[in-house]
Structure 1
Amino acid sequence: MYAFNLFIFVMILLGAHSLDCNYPKGDSNFYVPMTRKAQFFLREAELMAMEATDSVLPNRQLTTKIRLDMEAIRAQFPIVRNITHRKKWAPGKLRFQSISPDDLRRINETEYGPIKIRHLNIRYRAVENTLNITYLNFPKLYNPLVLGPALLEMLGIESEPVMSIFRDGDDTIFNAETSNYIFVKGSGKCFISCEQKHFWLFMVKCNKNREVVLIKDYMVRYNTLDSPVPTDLFI
């Protein structure tokens, strides 16, 4: 009986160490499973870090800072707690119009492999041709705006990022130059173009409580299809 209990105890310990926790380095001394909500906000911070710095992978320390700052902003200003980051492109994925088995082999031999492949064949009845599109899923959440040019320079293989078409007018932006945060809330037919947007500009102080300061808060109406973020928010 003692041997059986010891075996169960050892298996529990081994199982605990096999958990895929995805905690940024320095966040915790213990590896604990993350909830879906925590994973969502971690991915949000990773995307914001990559977009702000044009890096191929998210910087772990910057990701941690953004995640904790965003948590503080949402806690201290509940009015923006439901505003989330709008993904501009699919991380870790590229689209190819034409790619050969040799191209796949060469990509797999780089630091960015191994890759998974998904083919999409679309036949148009109006014309006698077939559009062959290949999507490559990379093992890490690479920034496609950096990965694509890197593969072109290394291997001469052309690709395109898989852009996100979902738009609800909401967004969050991290300004790497000032370390400020912009929250955007759109209203109207935002899938086409928002008729109005509400902007908040926040600064998070580097103190123990992560005190958040609201710098600007105003609304803008748009009469055109384009509804850009006002330049005066990037201060």
Structure 2
Amino acid sequence: ITLGWNTVYEFDFWVMEHSAGSEVVLGTDFMIPAGIRLDLFHATAKLPDEVMIPLVKAQNFDEDIPEGMHVPGGPNDNLQIAAGEWADFRLQRNKPSLGTHDVWVRRTPALIPTITKFRKGQPKWVRLTDISHHTEYCPAHLSVVMWVQRGYLPKMAGYVQVGSPNYEEWQVLAYAGARDETLFQWECELYEKWLGSQPSMGDRRSYTMFFNDPRSRLANLTKM
């Protein structure tokens, strides 16, 4: 099994007929003595503190490609983010193909994710912005990003697809939450002053009004 995308210990499975007295059904959640729930159908495991991690193939395979319909991604280290600040983290190198999986992200009440860098269409770097008024803690390996097999939805609520209207709304909140209100007001005032000092975009021509009085206008037309 993997913990934070690193192998920490291994164990074996024995698959037997259901009639042999086993209470385990392959493909469903069940408990093992260590207190870890295994979801073999989705190739994931959930630790007692509800942190979900992906299962990987044995290390003697040539390629270590994440498997399953739902593959999570998150920070490798614990993050402490001050109010109005942000922290960046890099996603794991091996990711499911974009031809078979869609990328989803989720936020917390205080932390909003932003994909800041892509590589060949795949998200590479993620920024977490703290929009609260106090320091927020983000545990290592929190499932901020989720690759979900196309045609399926994330198993947990709160995820939105990258590029969706909800995701764009989150970015507005992140931008506003990461700015000091006093500094933002000062920037607005400076911008207004700068805008007022700029020349007009087009030349303004002055025109002489010959017909201020309707009676004089009628008299001039009569002379013509």
TM-score normalised by the chain length of structure 2: 0.25
What is the TM-score with the length of structure 1 in the denominator?
A: 0.24
Which structure has more helix as a fraction of its residues? Answer: 1
- Highest CA radius of gyration, 1 or 2? 2
